[in-house]
Structure 1
Amino acid sequence: MNKKSCLNCGHSISGEYCSHCGQKSDTSRITPHSLIKNDILGSIWHVEAKFFHTLKHISFRPGQTAMDYIAGKRIRYSNFISLLLILFGFNVLGYHFYEKFSPTEVLSEDILDIKNFFSKYSKTILFVIIPMLAINAYFLFKRINLNIAEHFIIGTVSLLGILILFLFDDIVSLIGLWKPVSKIFDFIDKIIFGLSVLFPAITYWNAFKKSYSKSGLLWRVLVLYVLMGVESTAISLILYAIF
């Protein structure tokens, strides 16, 4: 039996993929049928399925998703950092449309300055949340024996969940501009905001509920929120004073 060689690097292939470069072994000649089936439809389905699979798992089991990723189960998920940038872009776009269609508000100069500040530096403030969560959680959840980079992954998943909720909130806010349903959607908006505030707590609870007692996990999460509140306020005040 003749051994098959990889058409990309020339190494022998014994399975579906080349163990040296990772290319698939069935790279036959491109035909109109294979182009449509594998390259176009296959790529779109693969990217979309992975993207929505990741969003679903982060939304409903964020802590377990982070721990699975840390444990090495990564092929099923989209890259978290890339996903973070994509979701942030969608949020900026959603907020832009909301501002465009919402009634013009007459704001005082001080309120307008604060609004412009948070609009301009929202990206910086949001992305500072990840290292803050990682460092605080590293000391609060020492028993888990995760390093700072692994806590960074959990913090990233927390922020991804917040951005998913923010994006959903943008859609709700846009629908809420229609007067007949505005009260209902204002109520939904408040629920989503509450969930976004609680999402880091949900993430850490879901991740570490088997490693701590309920009381032990509760006080650690509460301390994490106190630290995050103090640090976020300090960073925002420093940025506002400087810029």
Structure 2
Amino acid sequence: MELCKNCSKQFEGNFCSFCGQKKYTDKDKSLAHIFEEALHFLTHFEGSFFTSIKTILFYPGKLAVEYCAGIRKKYYKPISLFFMVVIIYLLNPMYSGLNQEYRYFKDNNVYGSMAKAAIVKKMANASITETDLMVEYGQKSKSLSKVLLFVFILSSTVFLSLLYYKQHKWLFDHVILATEINTIFILLIFILFPLLMLLIGTIFRIDEDVISDEFFALISFIAFFTYNSIAFKTMFKESKIKTMLKSLAFTILHTLFFIFVYRFIVFKVTLWFI
């Protein structure tokens, strides 16, 4: 018998029964082993990542249902998948809809007065001109708006728990479905749709200004509502009418949260970091 180098417990075989640590040998210090581990990571990452992407794109709700049922080996962890998609968007933000320019908040009909008061206070405390504040806001908000996307998982979990409280699902189930839904929200609306629009515009030589923000928002709403309807039906197995009504309610709540709450959170957090 020998001691585990990780937890100092005695164990036999190749793996510790207490912490799972692999038995350490001279082979683990070889250069070949480093490449072996790197290859294992890449093949495992590719397999589970693309399987998960394919599943959430073409089978709404299936990943959440199977993951909650304990079928997890073939999938990338949902939270990790969400943040991977966020990173992809962060690296190539073709559509800046998640972030709003500084002037949007001052002119907002709902919280414009609060935004103006926060701006005046920040200018006084930081001894900064509004022009400099505007420039710094533009630089910092681009990254912070992506980092703060996790709040969508929290809000969606609350909405799902309220809409389906009679089903007595575990909170875990709602979190996983909320994660899948928001992964597709970012992937579809902020990565794939803009790419598709760019491709169509290039092929048919359509000016970007021809496609209005209102039209894009309508198409995005319909696509998101459709996805939610299928995912809810898969997860909660209610009638079509109930599923569509709850999906519509969820999509509206999600949209309102996105427009009014999330953007204001980004605004306040960005000011705090300046």
TM over 0.5, shorter chain: yes
**Structure 1: stretches of 5+ with no match in the other structure:** 100-106
On the 8 A contact 1:62/1:161 being kept in 2, the answer is no
How far the C-alpha of 1:169 sits from its partner, in A, is 2.6
Q: Distance in 2 between matches of 1:240 and 1:85?
A: 17
Structure 2 counterpart of 1:53, which letter? Answer: T
Indicate whether 1:74 and 2:98 are aligned: no
Q: Give a deviation string over 1:171-206, Cα, whole Å, max 9, x none.
A: 33443553x43449999x959734245433332222
Counterpart of 1:19 in 2: which secondary structure? coil
- How far has the Cα of 1:156 moved from its partner? 0.8
Following superposition, the deviation at residue 151 of structure 1 comes to 1.0
TM-score normalised over the length of structure 2: 0.62
Of residues 131, 134, 141 in structure 1, which corresponds to 2:157?
134
Match of 2:229 in 1: 201
1:33-52 alignment, distance < 5 Å: 36=35, 38-52=36-50
CA shift, 1:154, in A, is 1.0
Matched length? 224
Question: Equivalences for 1:183-198 in 2 at 5 Å?
Answer: 183=206, 193=220, 194-196=222-224, 198=226
Structure 2 residue identity aligned to 1:168 = L
Q: In the superposition, relative to structure 1, how do residues 26 and 207 fare at CA in structure 2: closer, same or farther (>3 Å)?
A: farther
Aligned to 1:29: 27
Q: TM-score, with normalisation over the residues of structure 1?
A: 0.69
- State the structure with bigger RCO (CA 8 A, min sep 6), 1 or 2: 2
Identity, % of aligned positions: 23
- Superposed displacement of residue 57, structure 1: 1.6
Residue 90 of structure 1 deviates from its aligned partner by: 1.1
Matches within 5 A, 1:1-243: 10-13=10-13, 17-24=15-22, 29-30=27-28, 36=35, 38-95=36-93, 122-123=145-146, 126-165=149-188, 166-176=190-200, 178=202, 180-183=203-206, 193=220, 194-196=222-224, 198-209=226-237, 212-235=238-261, 239=265
Return the letter of the residue paired with 1:46: H
Q: 1:4 to 1:192 in 2, by over 3 A?
A: farther
CA RMSD of aligned residues (A): 4.2
Between the aligned partners of 1:92 and 1:77, the Cα distance in structure 2 is 23
TM-aligned CA distance change 1:29 to 1:227, over 3 Å = closer
- Unmatched tracts of structure 2, length 5 or more: 109-137
**3-state SS of 2:74 partner:** coil
